[in-house]
Structure 1
Amino acid sequence: MKNMKRIIAFIGAIVAFLAVALFTQPAQNDSTKLAQQKNIKIGILQLVSHPALDQIHAGIITGLKDEGFKEKKNITIEFQNAQGDQSNLKTMAQQIADRDDILFGIATPAAQALVNSANKTTPIIMAGISDPAGSGLVKSEKHPGANVTGSSGDSPLEKQLKLIQDIMPQAKNIGVIYTSSDAGGQSNAKKFVKLVKKAGLQPKLYTIANTNDMQQISQQMAGQVDAIYAPQDNGVASSMKTLVNNANQAGKPVFPAADTMVKDGGTAAYAIDQHDLGRLAGQMAGRVLKGKKTATYPVGFVVKGKYVLNQDQIDKLHIKIPAKIMQQAQKNGRVIK
């Protein structure tokens, strides 16, 4: 009888041990399980079509390929573009959040819409967000703290101001325009204004509510300033041609933050590569799919810029580009002709 009790007690101990061992094993995180799926569903939400965001989108695809994730091989990509419409953005965010395994938000409003729509475990990758912490997308760049991480490319503002000063040494009044609903654009514009003041120049700040305001506001601005700075702002980028047209009529150069905005008529920029921003986001997503946890995966930054010049605008406005800047643009950047 005693032996039987001992045997039962021994078996009970083994069962208890196995139960504890089973439940204390580290759980496989969702992203590790995703990597084992034969076909991962990826949702990409873009705020609007313009060259800068389109380049980020293309970069995401490249970055995913870098990590071994290719469409028709092991991933399916669902792409949604809200075309600047906030109601579209909300609807599309909910749709892809319900259907897809990992999500990309291209531009701050797109990333915010995904955060508001998705559950707290679906990985969300920001792509090219100027101010992730200031926009409330992460707790901090070093410790995101939840299911959101991604790439950021805050504009090299000091070098952009230096470029304006080098090309336009007589300029005193610097116009800065941004969209009131674009958190990243607003942040960049206000930081730039502080730098302009620090340099002893006079900033003049202008705001548009949406692209429909650009015609009137830019016309007013062009008559009041010596040069115009266009920050990394989706509303400004989408209406860049209107801004440039009014600036040209007043004989004023536009210095944009993004390289793609130079192609749309900007005179010159010292800018980070938008494709690189997307590529970094795609690579980060690939690593998340392989098991990296978003909560502890620091936001990635693209910091190295390049000079991009628009020769047609330079000639049209009779601007002289310092030889050193021209040489660097020809060697490491780009001269658009």
Structure 2
Amino acid sequence: MLGYIPGHNIAIDYRSGRGAVLDELARDLLVSRVDILVTTSGPAVLAAKRQTTSVPIVMAMSGDPVGTGVVANIAHPGENVTGLSLMSADLAGLRLGMLKEAVPRARRVGVLFDPTEPPTAQELRETEIAAKTLALTLEPLPASNPDALNQAIAKAAELHVDALITFAHAFAFVNRAQIISLSGQHRLPAMYGWREFAEGGGLMSYGPNVKATFRRAAVYIDRIIKGARPADMPIEQPSTFEFVINQRTAKALGIEFSPALLVRADEVIE
């Protein structure tokens, strides 16, 4: 829609990695003289910012850019960083409440998260607050690599958790097939942060649309190419969220959604 055709009037160079290698990847891209860096996780934007204070950085997906020190202010970044933050203080309570509504018998809930993501501590605090309101006990399940995922969900089963909530971290999104498979093997009803999980066989999801988020990031890139300064471009937060239910998975788990929950769904996968 913006008129860009890769290989014709724009070149896109990809790098992917985790941990300390992110700084090396950012340096590599800067050496190749890219005009804009695009990041898709909290650790990635921190690594990019450590490597440059002049090349524009667009966050396609990020947690809390203010809390992690990436920018001082969302409305006026004042830095070489702008884009989208997917952090929303209400999400933890909403997701946990929907999960409890879907699984009323739940008393103990496993919380699967990537401990390397900068906003994790804040997300855990918000989830704990919501859990107390719902009379739920939380079991933290940190995992930042595929082997740790196996161990974390096996631990959830050993602890006899009644359900699982997965934080909407980039690591979870990339490894969603493994998470969905493991949750199914252990018969764990789970709430996820993106519709792709429910589409892939997860029980339910609530969160912003990833494809729409990347489309918005493209608008930021277009504006910067045309001369806009990242420092003057407010960071956007999601204003619309999708609630997706997978009825096939619910039936396999012996879960019957209430009419009240079904009517709130943006999509029901039969």
Contact 1:185–1:234 (Cα < 8 Å) also in 2:
no
Q: Which has the higher helix share?
A: 1
Match of 1:16 in 2: none
Match of 2:48 in 1: 114
Q: How does 1:232-251 map to 2 (within 5 A)?
A: 232-251=168-187
Summarize the Cα distance change of 1:77–1:69 in structure 2 as closer, same or farther, 3 Å threshold: same
Partner of 2:156, secondary structure, is helix
Contact 2:202–2:249 (Cα < 8 Å) also in 1:
yes
Paired residue type of 2:65: P
Offset at 1:321? 1.2
The CA distance in 2 between the partners of 1:196 and 1:146, in whole Å, is 37
1:219 to 137, 154, 174: 154
Offset at 1:73? 4.5
Look at both structures and tell me which one has the larger radius of gyration over its CA atoms: 1
Offset at 1:195? 1.5
The CA distance in 2 between the partners of 1:235 and 1:306, in whole Å, is 20
Contact 1:149–1:298 (Cα < 8 Å) also in 2:
yes
Paired residue type of 2:149: M
2:73 to 108, 131, 140: 140
2:229 to 289, 293, 300: 293
Contact 1:131–1:152 (Cα < 8 Å) also in 2:
yes
The 10-residue stretch of structure 1 (126-135 or 262-271) with the greater mean CA deviation from structure 2: 262-271
Paired residue type of 1:227: A
Contact 1:240–1:265 (Cα < 8 Å) also in 2:
no
Deviations 1:254-297 (Å, cap 9, x if unpaired)? 11112122234321112210111111111122122223221122
Please tell me whether residue 195 in structure 1 is matched to residue 141 in structure 2: no
TM-score by length of 2: 0.88
Task: Report % sequence identity.
Answer: 24
Offset at 1:178? 1.1
The CA distance in 1 between the partners of 2:68 and 2:197, in whole Å, is 23
Summarize the Cα distance change of 1:292–1:315 in structure 2 as closer, same or farther, 3 Å threshold: same
Partner of 2:13, secondary structure, is strand
The CA distance in 2 between the partners of 1:81 and 1:336, in whole Å, is 32
The 10-residue stretch of structure 1 (101-110 or 72-81) with the greater mean CA deviation from structure 2: 72-81
Paired residue type of 2:166: A
Contact 2:193–2:207 (Cα < 8 Å) also in 1:
yes
Match of 1:58 in 2: none
Offset at 1:229? 0.3
What is the aligned length? 266
1:321 to 235, 257, 263: 257
Contact 1:179–1:186 (Cα < 8 Å) also in 2:
no
The 10-residue stretch of structure 1 (312-321 or 242-251) with the greater mean CA deviation from structure 2: 242-251
Offset at 1:311? 2.6
Paired residue type of 1:139: A
Q: How does 1:1-337 map to 2 (within 5 A)?
A: 65-66=1-2, 68-82=3-17, 84=18, 86-87=20-21, 89-98=22-31, 99-118=33-52, 120-154=53-87, 156-224=91-159, 225-329=161-265, 333-337=266-270
Q: Which has the higher strand share?
A: 1
The CA distance in 2 between the partners of 1:215 and 1:324, in whole Å, is 34
Contact 2:197–2:204 (Cα < 8 Å) also in 1:
no
Gaps of 5+ in 2: none
